[in-house]
Structure 1
Amino acid sequence: MDSVPRLLRLYESTRAHDEERGVSAPAAETVVNSLKSASTQLDEWLAKGKPTDDVFKLLTLDVAADDLLANSKLTEWITYMKLFNQANPKKQTSLIRTLTTHYGDEALAKMVVAAKQVPDTATFAKRLQTEQLQLWLNQGKSPDDVFTLLKLDKAGQKVFTHPEMVSWAKYVGDFNKVNPDKPVTLFSTLATRLNDETLVQMLIAAKNVPSTEKIAVQVQAVQTKLWLNTQKEPGDVFKLLRLDKEGHDIIQNPLFRAWVQYTDDFRKIYYGTELTTIATLTAKYGDETLTKMILQALSSPSTANIAKRLETEQLRNWYIHKYSPQHVFTTLNLYSEGVNAFDRPLFHVWSKYATYFGAAEPKYKPSFLTNLLDVYGEKNLVKVIRAGSKNPNTKKMAKELEDDLVKVWLKDERIPMDIYALLRLERVEDSKDPYRQLYFKYFKAYALS
């Protein structure tokens, strides 16, 4: 029997294997020359039917270091294995089974993971890992077992950045396909090793990495479902997401939307709960600060929609608590603005609530002016209107309020001298002064009434 030609007939397949490992052409030729020199011995072993396992040891592959997959002798053994399998179809073996027998699952997994990080052996190692995962699947190894075998249990809080996280996630998916009656979630394994707060922060980071984003979304979905089933309150989830550490820019945070969705789901399941989005935020920030946060978010296109929702919920929340317009005026600390309140963003929020409150109370429909009179009193209101008439931004509103005020005075049959005294016109000489203009407007209306 001519051993060299027979061994060289496997050259092409061996070369393909070499290329898969990243071996260069000159290196492949070296392998061929090595095969030529070793062919007599290999053929002798084949003729004697020497088991592949024995040849593995004779080539000292059973004591190879972590660079086993780069060892040229492994190529010789693979060539021998293929010949042996052809000659002994009932005694066939495979590379993955032989390596597992000699090194064990854990050591082999470690070598494969290391080889995946080396360009020359990465492709071969990936194929070998696929075979290893399939072997484990056939052996019924649980996802938890594989998690440990891949050393993910040693990764701690860096588990999502571990290079084998994606491989493990795929194994879980394959395991569930084979075992539909006892599915395992990614979350169930991670939850036994990490507390809620730690896992949440890891998921946040993982969602920002393309390779782990899908995994993070899957884990978070299961985690959210568990929170809902265990009645974890929105306030607790708010803290778990560390939104309480975000300061006043919280609405800009992508996690804020996730929390709002959780709160909505919580309310759907536990109907009637007072643990609303706006209630949680109000308890955290207070009405004035929260209103300012909403106003800021309204000015940004990326947060305008959710800010509009929060604004509506805030108005509704005030009404549910039966807050009067005067109460909300105080809550928003608008008195501190003095006579310049009309030009303040918070004033516009208050005016919306005053309108909302009036529309919601059929028996109580005060005009905007009436609400302002309740808030300021007549003497102070005319001062605020006077200041507003001097500001281009509020001049129109001030004029409308003056007209309404004149109507109220006429209805109450106030004599001009009362208005003269109210406006303290004895101190005002300029005929173009807003107070003088208001008095003339009333005097004329009174004369024509």
Structure 2
Amino acid sequence: MKKEIVIIGGGIIGLCCAYYLQQDGHQVTIVDKSDISSGASFVNAGYITPSHFIPLAAPGMITKGLKWMLNSSSPFYVKPRLDVDFLKWSWLFKKSATAKHVTTSIPIIKDINLLSRELYSELKNSNDFDFHLERKGLLMCYQTEKAGEEEWKIGKRAIEEGLNAQNLTKEEVKKLEPNVDFNIKGAIYFDSDAHMTPNDFMPKMIAFLKKKGVRFYTNESITDLTFTNDKIVAVQTSKRTLKADEFVLAAGSWSSVLAKKLTMNIPLQAGKGYCINVFENTGISMPAILVEAKVAVTPMQGFTRFAGTMEIGEINHKINPKRVKAIANVAESFYNGLQIPKTSLENAACGLRPCSPDGLPYIGKTKNYKNLTIATGHAMMGWSLGPATGKLVSELIGEKNTSMKLDGFEVGRFG
């Protein structure tokens, strides 16, 4: 049955929800507080990563967070503050960071990433619109034996999960990336991963959706939501009232704020990440993560992107030059001869990733409202999980069997 659907949020998750819902014949409207030209969906590393199956909430992260708390240029930085939501999130994170949670989460995260990779390929082959998509795999480059050993443990677990991982020497890495002079000891190579250019995909997806009749209301904030008993009736924006049969909340880091208007508890914290684009030729052709500093390197269409850091703090888009410079310094220390231009540093951008306390997204219907579906909390995997989330949301709203089980993604798991 054709339904009128309003999606709150026009990032990669919201757009993919719109894509699959309009494919099912629904009339879709997207409302976003921005003009959908910046933010996390535009500044991420563009990875599709089945190999990244360890959740953010894992043993050792608390210790690392405390160690790095006083270092504003560290890879994982938690800005301490006396805020009730932050303190509750931190407590839930601590409770979730167990070996048991990691073991339970690995197959879930792997499977949804594999589903998304398949859907990206289907989208590429559909001829709906053309976009950059390459599957070259991912190099996890390390400079110390300790980091290499830790990474190979994950590699061996990946093999157990049916993925292909190889422990490469520096010389073997050179064969894959011949035009780069690496300053590394070696790398773990995962052939399961792919990469894209977000700045290429996002505007093309928006143009395609508009062509298909999806309505966009941008630069409009949600000011209120009207509900009767167990159903949402309408959302009030800064410019209009939007009524619908179904609503999807996919507003990224702002989702928990809107959930509060519905007296719902969806714990989230904004994890700020930065990116630097270098338009000069770097010789880099393989996606890589520089392990010790968690810096991602992606060869995109027309430029190389260096992205990184996870800064858990308030919702803002302030650029911290120290963190930008730290990313550049790490990149230059891993790639001999690489020089990141001053203009690239000055034009660095940031985005806010919505982080749940257990490192798993929220995907599903709510108990409170029959016609509300939540799709948020994807943290660093937002880009990777866009199509899978969109497909699952469309299946839920269409009351179909879902492409995978939603165990672990329950919206009300924190009460």
Answer yes or no: same fold by TM over 0.5. Answer: no
Which structure is richer in relative contact order (CA contacts within 8 A, separation 6 or more)?
2
Higher helix share: 1
- Provide TM-score, normalisation by structure 1: 0.17
Q: Scaled by the length of structure 2, what TM-score is found? A: 0.18
